[in-house]
Amino acid sequence: MTERRDVTVFYDERVLNHAPDVNAAFLPGRLDKRVRAILAGLNVQWKYPEHPGRIHAILDLLKREPVEGVRFEPGKVATREQLARVHTTSYLDDVFSLRNKNAWLDVDTTAVSPGSIEAAEVAAGTAIAAVEAVISGSTQSAFALVRPPGHHAEPVRARGFCLLNNVAVAAAHALAELGCERVLIVDWDVHHGNGTQDIFWADPHVMLFDIHRASPFYPGSGNLQEVGAGMGEGATVNVPMPGGSGDVAYLRAFNEILVPAAEYFKPDLILVSAGFDVHWYDLAMNVSFEGCAAMTGVVQSLADRLCEGRLAFVLEGGYNTESLAHGVRSVLEVLAGREVPEPKECGMDAVEEAIAFHLSAFTEDPADD
């Protein structure tokens, strides 16, 4: 441990009420038929990947292996006014009309169950609670443990398991109500945060740094040339990566792109869209738990230097429950003051262990005949 820091995890059990069941009776219509046709064409039974077990896995691990300095606080429901800063009123009307229903919202298999709308409102509100806490100084850093995730949700459309854009709602609230003039969003989920980019595309008050697996990987956006428009041109920083990229590449991007961009932008608040599908257990990238911790160290250092330590994380993706849980814990450890680990290239520990085990057999004097 270095300097002890207090960290607040914001969590509300109502986020567990979002539980789409692909075998349930959904609202009839053309979208339902199209999704059913897609699912019928699969060779295996498809289950909704974004399920309550993701949160249970995190909570179970933190109960078994608590992180000193971490405390829990409840979340809250976002208001319609707060949501309407980033989503159109017509979209909100449509979403709210699905309260207590089963429905498909998008052909990429985004769905709702009877408790989903309240869960989404709570997820967005809990992200706001995390931001309010770090702005007020009641905690040094915060982690909003929420679902459904949000960074694919666009102003007018649900996508990629996302209904409401939690991190965008929190950033807009900080700008509108908490005295912030510039907010930096760092998105390291393996998928590009197309919704967050769309919402702040022409907004000079929000910088989005998004590192992700490159197109054509879902959702297919986030190319280098996508840099924003109008007054916001240059405030969108995309770093598309090839599949299998790991700690060394990610940390170089953080140190050589994110750090100078943040120093230029001078944010009042840093938010992280933290997706743990970058870990190799989720099979798209090759980032380790130490890599997640090291990335946390970079953004924590930026927050300390640039915005009085104001730093809040918002959970996004991560669908292997083991890597999700341990990834979250690795972040919380650094936020709580643990020394930031220095990641090694994948396989180096195993090679060093093998060297120590075998080398003596080949360096001793050969036996006499």
Active-site residues: which are they? 152
Long-range contacts of 348-357 (CB under 8 A, 24+ apart): none
| Cβ atoms of residues 162 and 138 within 8 Å | no
Phi, psi of 26 (to 5 degrees): -95, 165
**DSSP labels, 263-319:** HHH--SEEEEEE-GGGBGGGSS-BB-HHHHHHHHHHHHHHHHHHSTT-EEEEE----
Cβ-Cβ contacts under 8 Å for 159 (sequence gap 6 or more): 106, 108, 110, 152, 153, 194, 195, 219
| Cβ atoms of residues 210 and 182 within 8 Å | no
Element (H, E) at 36: helix 30-40
Residue 314, CA atoms < 13 Å, CB-side half-sphere: 34
174: tokens are 């900080």
| Cβ atoms of residues 117 and 15 within 8 Å | no
Nearest CA among 151, 159, 14, 160 for reference residue 78: 14
